[in-house]
């Protein structure tokens, strides 16, 4: 008989991808969510997954073998209280993944505050290019694959390993469940203020992850990150391989040949060097590339094959993705929602378009941004923008006390669009930065430009 599961919070990026893996594994899958809309709803339905809008108790069919509870669910919700009262069998998404998919796999996990999606996408692509046929689960859509998850047909599985908590009954970070043999830690900064009271609590979770890597495995880190050093100093039982963007350092490194990072030299620990030209830009992406290259080399892929794969990497949807060029005005969509990521995106654009006027449109969406946990670093992160348009749906803007003349605040996308169109002209750059849908601002802007709204 076909095994069945019901997923609560199924339309989230992680749980939706998990649902697809479960369906590929032969499970009958259904799920509930309050936010059932494309593209995730379309993808899930096309995979034969039954979707329910809302969290009604009646959604829980009696034949479900197990209920997977997403971390969006909390105590006090009627469906959660029903599950507990009735003694239903439930677990978390990460725990189910570890037991049903990752067991006996060579898990290559990519962690860190920034760059996880791009690095894991590139790593999966390198393995695919080398005919390793990996499985993967990524918090975005790699353009080389067009899907965020698949089982694969080999022992290798690449996973984006984030530090957010697992479920209402398991407050450990999700990545603790994955037990990687190869671990990349890109960087560690303070984030997720709704979960972590301070940076020390984040260090603790990353150290729990380090404790799970076997002695025969490897941990790949940048040499200059102070947060990672702090974590490793708490104890490490695995070989640590370091990299840098400094070509004079020992070990792996990437040395930019163009100011925007679109061409670089990649060198391995033995000093062997290859030249790479690719579609991505920015110093942060050089770090992502060298980390992915080291992990791929660790499983036996040659430097030459790695270089050829990187050259053919198309990037990730919503990672500085060009979504339109209308009347000479370029429009980019970017997931950046942390000061470091915002600064990296705007620096990349400034290096790529030194003579253009850059309009940064930033949604205050994450709990960390709304809480003001980033302090003055949020305002400092936009120095490479000529004009900054801050957007917050409920119009509080309590995190700002001293905006300069280049900044404007909005709570209405129509008003933001109209004001923006009075300011932009041919040759300008517009970049939308949000970890959500920005209330469809990108569509508003492109539609208005295509309709020829004048200045």
Task: Provide φ and ψ at 429, rounded to 5°.
Answer: -120, 130
pLDDT over 60 (residue 14): yes
Q: Which residues lie closer than 8 Å to 48 by C-beta, 6 or more apart?
A: 23, 29
Q: Which residues lie closer than 8 Å to 3 by C-beta, 6 or more apart?
A: 26, 27, 28, 65
**What confidence tens digit (pLDDT) does each residue in 323-365 have?**
889 989 999 999 877 888 899 899 989 998 999 999 999 998 7
3-state DSSP assignment of residue 297: helix
Measured distance CA(202)–CA(222) in Å, rounded: 18
3-state DSSP assignment of residue 206: helix
Nearest to 285 by CA among 238, 319, 240: 319
pLDDT reported for residue 398? 57
**What confidence tens digit (pLDDT) does each residue in 368-386 have?**
676 666 667 788 889 999 9
Nearest to 142 by CA among 120, 172, 126, 121: 121
Confidence of residue 37 (pLDDT cuts 50, 70, 90): confident
Domains annotated on the chain, with CATH: 4-91 (3.40.50.720), 104-311 (3.40.1190.10), 321-450 (3.90.190.20)
Neighbour-count burial for 408-426, b at 16+ CB within 10 Å, e otherwise: bbbeebeebbeebbeebee
Please report, rounded to a whole number, the percentage of residues in the chain having pLDDT higher than 90: 68
Q: What is the mean pLDDT of residues 175-187?
A: 97
Which long-range contacts (C-beta less than 8 Å, at least 24 apart) are formed by 92-95? 92/68, 92/166, 92/167, 92/169, 92/170, 92/177, 93/7, 93/14, 93/15, 93/18, 93/68, 93/69, 93/166, 93/167, 93/174, 94/166, 94/174, 94/175, 94/176, 94/177, 94/178, 95/166, 95/170, 95/177
pLDDT reported for residue 282? 87
247 CB neighbour count, 10 Å cutoff? 13
Bridge-based pairing state of the strands 429-433 and 329-334: parallel
Secondary structure element (H or E) that encloses residue 292, with its range: helix 283-298
Q: What is the mean pLDDT of residues 35-48?
A: 82
| The length of the chain, given as a count of residues | 455
**What confidence tens digit (pLDDT) does each residue in 383-396 have?**
999 999 998 877 66
Confidence of residue 404 (pLDDT cuts 50, 70, 90): confident
In the predicted model, what is the mean pLDDT of the chain?
Answer: 90
Residue found by looking up tokens 């990037």 in the block: 315
pLDDT reported for residue 370? 61
Residue found by looking up tokens 């993944």 in the block: 97
Rg for the chain (alpha carbons), in Å?
Answer: 22
**What confidence tens digit (pLDDT) does each residue in 234-244 have?**
999 999 999 99
8 A C-beta contact, residue 420 and residue 388: no
Q: Which residues lie closer than 8 Å to 257 by C-beta, 6 or more apart?
A: 263, 264, 265, 275
8 A C-beta contact, residue 228 and residue 221: yes
Nearest to 314 by CA among 162, 79, 442, 129: 129
Measured distance CA(310)–CA(258) in Å, rounded: 16
pLDDT over 50 (residue 106): yes
Confidence of residue 399 (pLDDT cuts 50, 70, 90): low
Bridge-based pairing state of the strands 321-326 and 329-334: antiparallel
Q: What is the mean pLDDT of residues 301-325?
A: 93
Q: What is the mean pLDDT of residues 403-410?
A: 81
pLDDT reported for residue 86? 92
pLDDT reported for residue 396? 62
Confidence of residue 455 (pLDDT cuts 50, 70, 90): very low
pLDDT over 60 (residue 454): no
Q: Which residues lie closer than 8 Å to 74 by C-beta, 6 or more apart?
A: 80, 168
Distance between first and last Cα of the chain: 64
8 A C-beta contact, residue 193 and residue 371: yes
pLDDT reported for residue 162? 93
Tokens of 134: 């990996």
Least confident of 93-102, 188-197, 254-263, 281-290: 188-197
Confidence of residue 438 (pLDDT cuts 50, 70, 90): confident
8 A C-beta contact, residue 163 and residue 175: yes
Confidence of residue 367 (pLDDT cuts 50, 70, 90): low
pLDDT over 70 (residue 4): yes
3-state DSSP assignment of residue 335: coil
Least confident of 248-252, 285-289, 304-308: 248-252
Measured distance CA(242)–CA(239) in Å, rounded: 10
pLDDT over 70 (residue 400): no
The answer to whether the predicted template modeling score (pTM) of the entire model surpasses 0.75 is yes
pLDDT reported for residue 1? 55
Confidence of residue 119 (pLDDT cuts 50, 70, 90): very high
The C-alpha torsion from 205 through 210 and 214 to 216, rounded to 10°, is 160
pLDDT reported for residue 140? 85
Beta strands in 197-251 (DSSP E): 218-222, 239-244
What is the DSSP secondary-structure string of 389-428? EEE-TT---TT-S---TTEEEES-HHHHHHHHHTT--TT-
Neighbour-count burial for 109-146, b at 16+ CB within 10 Å, e otherwise: bbbbbbbbbbbbbbbbbbbbbbebebbbbbbbbbbbbe
**Phi-psi region for residue 85, left (φ > 0), alpha (ψ -120 to 50) or beta?**
alpha
């Amino acid at each position: 008989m076909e095994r069945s599961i019901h997923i609560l919070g199924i339309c989230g990026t992680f749980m939706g991808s998990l649902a697809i893996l479960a369906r590929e594994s032969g499970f009958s899958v259904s799920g509930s969510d309050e936010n059932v809309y494309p593209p995730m709803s379309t993808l899930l339905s096309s995979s034969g997954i039954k979707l329910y809008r809302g969290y009604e108790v009646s959604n829980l069919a009696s034949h479900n073998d197990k209920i997977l509870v997403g971390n969006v669910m909390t105590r006090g919700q009627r469906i959660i209280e029903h599950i507990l009262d009735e003694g239903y069998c439930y677990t978390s998404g990460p725990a189910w993944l570890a037991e049903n998919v990752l067991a006996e796999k060579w898990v290559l996990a990519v962690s860190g505050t920034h760059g996880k999606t791009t690095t894991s996408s590139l790593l999966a692509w390198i393995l695919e290019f080398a005919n390793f046929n990996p499985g993967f689960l990524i918090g975005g859509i790699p353009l080389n694959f067009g899907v965020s998850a698949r089982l694969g047909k080999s022992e290798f599985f690449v996973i984006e390993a984030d530090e957010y908590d697992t479920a209402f009954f398991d407050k450990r970070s999700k990545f603790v469940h994955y037990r990687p043999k190869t671990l990349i830690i890109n960087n560690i900064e303070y984030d997720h203020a709704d979960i972590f009271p301070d940076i020390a609590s984040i260090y603790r979770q990353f150290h729990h992850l380090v404790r799970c890597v076997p002695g025969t495995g490897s941990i790949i880190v940048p040499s200059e990150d102070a947060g990672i050093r702090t974590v490793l100093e708490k104890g490490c039982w695995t070989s640590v391989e370091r990299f840098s963007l400094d070509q004079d350092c020992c070990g792996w490194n990437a040395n930019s040949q163009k100011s925007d990072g679109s061409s670089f030299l990649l060198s391995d620990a033995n000093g062997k060097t290859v030249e790479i030209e690719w579609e991505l830009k920015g110093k942060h992406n050089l770090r992502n590339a060298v980390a992915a290259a080291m992990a791929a080399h660790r499983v036996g892929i040659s430097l030459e094959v790695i270089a050829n794969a990187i050259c053919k990497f198309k990037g990730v949807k919503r990672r500085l993705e060009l979504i339109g060029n209308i009347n000479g005005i370029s429009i980019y969509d970017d997931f950046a929602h942390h000061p470091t990521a915002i600064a990296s995106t705007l620096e990349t654009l400034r290096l790529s378009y030194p003579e253009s006027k850059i309009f940064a449109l930033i949604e205050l969406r994450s709990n960390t941004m709304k809480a003001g946990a980033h302090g003055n670093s949020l305002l400092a992160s936009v120095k490479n923008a000529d004009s900054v348009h801050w957007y917050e749906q409920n119009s509080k803007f309590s995190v700002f006390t001293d905006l300069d003349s280049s900044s404007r605040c909005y709570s209405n996308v129509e008003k933001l669009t109209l004001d923006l169109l009075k300011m932009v002209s041919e040759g300008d750059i517009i970049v939308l930065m949000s970890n959500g849908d920005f209330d469809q601002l990108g569509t508003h802007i492109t539609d208005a430009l295509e309709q020829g709204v004048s200045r």
